[in-house]
Amino acid sequence: MDNLHRIKRTSETLRKAASLFLWLTPLLCAIYWAFFNEYPDLMKAQLGILGQSELTVLNRALCFVATMLPAGVAMYGFSLLRELFGLYAVGEIFSERNVSCYRKLGRTLLYWAGAVFVHTTLISLAVSVGMPKGQRHLTVAFGSIELVVVFAGAAAMVISWVMDEARRIEEEQALTI
């Protein structure tokens, strides 16, 4: 089996997976928050909700809205991956559209890191809604995962520039007699 055939076949599978993840993301987020009160205390402790036995419907709805910020960015990323793998599936490897997808994916990773940073704060506020004074809390965090994603986003941007340069060189060579 030649590489182009393998690229096309695998890309079609990955395009379908990206489509599936695109549509599953909001559904899984909704299910997560709808059933949050049923989870073991260990899972609740990760959000700092040990002292509170249950979240109200309002708390969970606000948490869902806060979660949709990074989830929305992830969904945009999945749509870009679907587009990129769709291009690969039809054999379009080095084109301006591929470069554009990579550039947008790089930006999306940077946006996702920012969205996760904001999400952490919004979740802490959403959980605190309705708590008496003295029990409310605000969390602000930026961790190693966000740093890795920022690095990956910057790397994807550089890769897009390299691909664009390779595409330009290939176009110039094709026009040279």
What is the residue whose two structure tokens read 């897009």?
A: 160
Residues 141-156: pLDDT tens digits? Answer: 778 888 999 999 999 9
What pLDDT is attached to residue 52?
58
pLDDT score of 138 more than 80: no
Residues 141, 119: Cα–Cα separation, whole Å: 10
What pLDDT is attached to residue 78?
97
Question: pTM value?
Answer: 0.86
What pLDDT is attached to residue 39?
83
What pLDDT is attached to residue 155?
95
Residues 61-91: pLDDT tens digits? Answer: 999 999 999 999 999 999 999 999 999 999 8
What pLDDT is attached to residue 51?
53
Q: Calculate the average pLDDT of the chain.
A: 88
The pLDDT confidence band at residue 125, using thresholds 50, 70 and 90, is confident
Q: Residues 162, 165, 170, 173: what is their CA dihedral angle, to the nearest 10 degrees?
A: -140
Q: What is the total residue count of the chain?
A: 177
Note whether 90 and 122 are within 8 A (CB). Answer: no
What pLDDT is attached to residue 1?
60
Residues 33-53: pLDDT tens digits? Answer: 999 988 887 777 766 655 556
CA distances from 6 to 2, 3, 16, 90, 94 (A): 6, 5, 16, 12, 16
The pLDDT confidence band at residue 112, using thresholds 50, 70 and 90, is very high
